[in-house]
Protein backbone atom coordinates (compact mmCIF):
# COMPACT_ATOMS: atom_id res chain seq x y z
CA UNK A 1 0.00 0.00 0.00
CA UNK A 2 2.90 2.34 0.78
CA UNK A 3 4.14 2.09 -2.79
CA UNK A 4 0.72 3.07 -4.13
CA UNK A 5 0.47 6.04 -1.76
CA UNK A 6 3.97 7.10 -2.72
CA UNK A 7 2.97 6.94 -6.40
CA UNK A 8 0.01 9.25 -5.83
CA UNK A 9 2.09 11.61 -3.70
CA UNK A 10 4.77 11.89 -6.38
CA UNK A 11 2.14 12.43 -9.06
CA UNK A 12 0.50 15.20 -7.05
CA UNK A 13 3.94 16.82 -6.74
CA UNK A 14 4.12 16.94 -10.54
CA UNK A 15 6.34 13.96 -11.31
CA UNK A 16 5.81 12.21 -14.65
CA UNK A 17 4.81 8.56 -14.94
CA UNK A 18 8.30 7.77 -16.22
CA UNK A 19 9.95 9.51 -13.25
CA UNK A 20 7.67 7.74 -10.77
CA UNK A 21 8.34 4.37 -12.40
CA UNK A 22 12.08 4.94 -12.02
CA UNK A 23 11.79 6.05 -8.38
CA UNK A 24 9.45 3.22 -7.34
CA UNK A 25 11.08 0.57 -9.57
CA UNK A 26 7.82 -0.45 -11.22
CA UNK A 27 6.71 -0.43 -14.83
CA UNK A 28 5.01 2.60 -16.31
CA UNK A 29 1.94 0.44 -16.80
CA UNK A 30 1.77 -0.33 -13.07
CA UNK A 31 2.18 3.33 -12.20
CA UNK A 32 -0.63 4.25 -14.58
CA UNK A 33 -2.86 1.61 -12.95
CA UNK A 34 -2.18 3.02 -9.48
CA UNK A 35 -2.97 6.54 -10.66
CA UNK A 36 -6.10 5.40 -12.48
CA UNK A 37 -7.36 3.54 -9.41
CA UNK A 38 -6.77 6.61 -7.25
CA UNK A 39 -8.54 8.89 -9.72
CA UNK A 40 -11.55 6.54 -9.94
CA UNK A 41 -11.93 5.56 -6.28
CA UNK A 42 -9.80 7.88 -4.18
CA UNK A 43 -7.66 6.38 -1.41
CA UNK A 44 -9.84 3.25 -1.23
CA UNK A 45 -8.81 2.52 -4.83
CA UNK A 46 -5.25 2.01 -3.64
CA UNK A 47 -6.11 -0.89 -1.33
CA UNK A 48 -4.59 -4.24 -2.25
CA UNK A 49 -7.03 -6.56 -3.94
CA UNK A 50 -7.23 -10.34 -3.78
CA UNK A 51 -6.29 -12.14 -6.97
CA UNK A 52 -7.77 -15.63 -7.06
CA UNK A 53 -5.45 -16.89 -9.79
CA UNK A 54 -6.26 -19.35 -12.50
CA UNK A 55 -9.22 -21.71 -12.11
CA UNK A 56 -8.32 -25.26 -11.08
CA UNK A 57 -7.86 -27.76 -13.91
CA UNK A 58 -9.35 -30.63 -11.92
CA UNK A 59 -12.82 -30.43 -10.45
CA UNK A 60 -13.36 -31.30 -6.81
CA UNK A 61 -14.87 -34.62 -7.89
CA UNK A 62 -11.84 -35.44 -10.06
CA UNK A 63 -9.48 -34.50 -7.25
CA UNK A 64 -11.40 -36.71 -4.81
CA UNK A 65 -11.30 -39.59 -7.30
CA UNK A 66 -7.55 -39.11 -7.78
CA UNK A 67 -6.99 -39.23 -4.02
CA UNK A 68 -9.02 -42.43 -3.77
CA UNK A 69 -6.95 -44.10 -6.49
CA UNK A 70 -3.66 -43.10 -4.87
CA UNK A 71 -4.73 -44.14 -1.37
CA UNK A 72 -6.62 -47.33 -2.20
CA UNK A 73 -4.89 -48.79 -5.25
CA UNK A 74 -1.37 -49.61 -6.32
CA UNK A 75 -0.09 -48.43 -9.70
CA UNK A 76 -0.33 -51.93 -11.19
CA UNK A 77 -4.10 -51.95 -10.56
CA UNK A 78 -4.57 -48.98 -12.88
CA UNK A 79 -2.33 -50.17 -15.70
CA UNK A 80 1.22 -49.23 -14.74
CA UNK A 81 4.15 -51.64 -14.62
CA UNK A 82 5.20 -50.39 -11.18
CA UNK A 83 3.81 -52.83 -8.68
CA UNK A 84 3.40 -51.11 -5.31
CA UNK A 85 4.53 -47.52 -4.88
CA UNK A 86 3.13 -44.31 -6.29
CA UNK A 87 5.83 -41.85 -7.31
CA UNK A 88 5.33 -38.25 -8.39
CA UNK A 89 6.06 -39.28 -11.97
CA UNK A 90 3.44 -42.05 -11.85
CA UNK A 91 0.87 -39.64 -10.42
CA UNK A 92 1.72 -37.14 -13.18
CA UNK A 93 1.34 -39.86 -15.81
CA UNK A 94 -1.97 -40.98 -14.30
CA UNK A 95 -3.32 -37.40 -14.33
CA UNK A 96 -2.25 -36.95 -17.96
CA UNK A 97 -3.75 -40.28 -19.03
CA UNK A 98 -6.99 -39.96 -17.06
CA UNK A 99 -7.76 -36.24 -17.17
CA UNK A 100 -5.72 -35.06 -20.14
CA UNK A 101 -3.80 -32.32 -18.35
CA UNK A 102 -0.27 -31.98 -17.06
CA UNK A 103 0.90 -31.69 -13.47
CA UNK A 104 2.02 -28.11 -14.15
CA UNK A 105 -1.61 -27.31 -14.93
CA UNK A 106 -2.98 -29.20 -11.93
CA UNK A 107 -0.34 -28.53 -9.25
CA UNK A 108 -2.18 -25.55 -7.67
CA UNK A 109 -5.28 -27.75 -7.40
CA UNK A 110 -3.31 -30.60 -5.83
CA UNK A 111 -1.79 -28.24 -3.26
CA UNK A 112 -5.26 -27.00 -2.25
CA UNK A 113 -6.75 -30.48 -2.07
pLDDT of residue 60: 87
pLDDT of residue 100: 85
pLDDT of residue 84: 85
pTM of the entire predicted model: 0.47
pLDDT of residue 111: 55
Which residues touch 1 (CB under 8 Å, ≥6 apart)? Answer: 46, 47, 48
Q: Which residues of 17-45 are buried (b: 16+ CB within 10 A; e: fewer)?
A: beebbeebebeeebbeebbebbeeeeeeb
pLDDT of residue 82: 79
pLDDT of residue 7: 94
Can you give the pLDDT of all 113 residues of the chain as single tens digits?
A: 889 999 999 999 999 999 999 999 999 999 999 999 999 999 888 888 776 666 667 888 998 999 999 999 999 999 998 778 998 889 989 999 998 887 765 555 555 55
Q: C-alpha 80: how far from its chain's center?
A: 31
pLDDT of residue 99: 86
Amino acid sequence: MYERLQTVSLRLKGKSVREIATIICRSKRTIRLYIRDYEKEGLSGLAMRFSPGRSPRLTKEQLDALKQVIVNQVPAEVGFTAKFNWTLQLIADYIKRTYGCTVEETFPTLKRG
